[in-house]
Amino acid sequence: MPLYRLMGNKEASDIHGKINFISRLNDEFYTYAREHDNFYICDINYISADYGLKKWQEPFYWYMYKYALNVSAIPYLSYNIANIIKSLLGKNKKGFVLDLDNTLWGGIVGDDGVDNLEIGPEESSGQVYSEFQNYIKEHKDLGLVLNIDSKNEAENALSGLNHPDGVLKPDDFIEIKANWEPKDRNFLQIADSLTVLPESLVFVDDNPAERAIVTSNIKGVVAPEIGEAHDYIQVIDRSGFFEVTNLSKDDLKRNEMYKENVKRAKLQATFENYEDYLLSLEMIANIKRFESIYTARIAQLSNKSNQFNLTTKRYTQTEIEDIMIDKEYIPIYGKLSDKFGDNGLVSIVIGHIIKDVCHIELWLMSCRVLKRDLEFAMMDELVKLCREQGIKKIKGYYYPTAKNKMVKDFYSTMGFTKLSEDDNGNTEWKFDIIDNYKNKNNVIKVEEI
């Protein structure tokens, strides 16, 4: 925004005003961004207002060096751009692990009793916590998962969350750990049961000692210094944990899916035989070549899958679109649903055909469908498509990272033979497609088109 206003406040509304012009110009950009994938707005208008427009611009630097903003403001702008890039690379956090006492409400429920907690519209101190609960709850609508990690009797924690003036209710959370265990241990259990990496969850606790325990014992976890209760929202909001770039349908449904997983776990406990359990899920898979409606989701998945990922190769949406139409590739995606719900698009295999061999450039699967045998169904489909093109040989590659140990022996499980292994643990595998190849998947119904 300009540093001067010729007509004063009228600049904003008058069609001749420069402020009015910039507002309309920005609006055109926003429209364009809504209508085009891969076009992102870095909202300088907000960032500069937040920073302080007077401080944001420094005429000296403009006239001397043509710097459009004050040198001291550059880091803040860079930070915002970095957040967008970070988000595109799948580095966003996936949810919160929250403390209760003096974090989601004022007071200590075990000592003060539910009736004396600070929450609700009557008092200013209660308003602060109501607003914070509301802020946290809004994240749920963006597909982030909420969990509790609190030193409390479980019963007290639940009665606090059932406070009539509370915005967050027990049902809003996937995992509620209210006990006297060390918080880092609870934290790890929460990450484990959600099948996400611990560092993808943000720890929110008013107590610096608890934050230190969690961040020093679990590598990569962030626990913002949230300050006083009235600062919580601002501190978290400016941390760039959840910068939204592409919001997929899967993101919006994530909470439902985790809830369904809890139901699956309960069902599994009733079966002695794992295969019987899998059959009882009545799973249906859609496994097909890439389609343009899914390229955004495929690119997103390729950038954020770390654990069940053999090569950890990252793709942009444009690269995915190119591969989709390239005849030298066999690119397939897998969707999985069962009687509890739809998991959406959760697995990708990209085979690159060079001469008569199909090289598996990428094989990944979302961890929320681990141990459901979808990988076998993907293998069957890959074999089928190879055969259609007369390809008899598949080569697989495993490149170890800090995070993908779980698939170290994946190709062995799939029936591949190891060809080589180098000093860094990179391995190469081959699979010969025999004439009487028998499908490996027996528990998922794969829908024919």
Partner 1 sequence: MTREEIFKGLNEVFSDVFDEDIIVNDNTTADDIEDWDSLEHINLIVAVENKFGIKFNIGEVNKMKNVGEMVDLILSKL
What is the binding site for partner 1 (CB under 8 A)?
A: 60-61, 63-65, 67, 71-72
Nearer to partner 1, 30 or 60 (CB): 60
Residues forming beta bridges with residue 348, ordered by sequence position: 333, 364
In 3D space, the residue among 17, 234, 206 whose CA is nearest the CA of residue 98 turns out to be 206
User: Could you give the CA distance from residue 133 to residue 151 in angstroms, rounded to a whole number?
Assistant: 19
Question: Closest distance between partner 1 and the C-beta of residue 76, in Å?
Answer: 15
From residue 254, give the alpha-carbon distance in Å to each of 68, 78, 442.
41, 30, 27
Question: Closest distance between partner 1 and the C-beta of residue 79, in Å?
Answer: 18
Instruction: Answer for the pair 313, 348: CB distance below 8 angstroms, yes or no.
Output: no
Residue 328 burial (C-beta neighbours within 10 Å; 0-12, 13-18, 19+): exposed
User: Could you give the CA distance from residue 264 to residue 184 in angstroms, rounded to a whole number?
Assistant: 26
Nearer to partner 1, 21 or 62 (CB): 62
Question: Closest distance between partner 1 and the C-beta of residue 61, in Å?
Answer: 7
Nearer to partner 1, 72 or 78 (CB): 72
Nearer to partner 1, 60 or 271 (CB): 60
Nearer to partner 1, 64 or 293 (CB): 64
Nearer to partner 1, 73 or 191 (CB): 73
Question: Which of the 8 DSSP states describes residue 89?
Answer: T
Question: Closest distance between partner 1 and the C-beta of residue 71, in Å?
Answer: 5
User: Could you give the CA distance from residue 91 to residue 303 in angstroms, rounded to a whole number?
Assistant: 8
Question: Closest distance between partner 1 and the C-beta of residue 77, in Å?
Answer: 15
User: Could you give the CA distance from residue 55 to residue 70 in angstroms, rounded to a whole number?
Assistant: 7
Question: What does the block give as tokens for 328?
Answer: 């030298």
Q: What DSSP string describes 393-417?
A: EEEEEE---SS-GGGTTHHHHTT-E
Question: Closest distance between partner 1 and the C-beta of residue 80, in Å?
Answer: 21
**H or E element in which residue 367 lies:** none
Question: Closest distance between partner 1 and the C-beta of residue 166, in Å?
Answer: 48
Rounded CA Rg of the chain: 26
Nearer to partner 1, 36 or 66 (CB): 66
Residues forming beta bridges with residue 393, ordered by sequence position: 357, 432
Question: Closest distance between partner 1 and the C-beta of residue 52, in Å?
Answer: 18
Question: Closest distance between partner 1 and the C-beta of residue 3, in Å?
Answer: 16
Nearer to partner 1, 66 or 266 (CB): 66
Q: From the DSSP assignment, how many helices (H) and strands (E) are in the chain?
A: 17, 12
From residue 175, give the alpha-carbon distance in Å to each of 95, 99, 181, 258, 341.
11, 12, 15, 10, 19
Nearer to partner 1, 77 or 233 (CB): 77
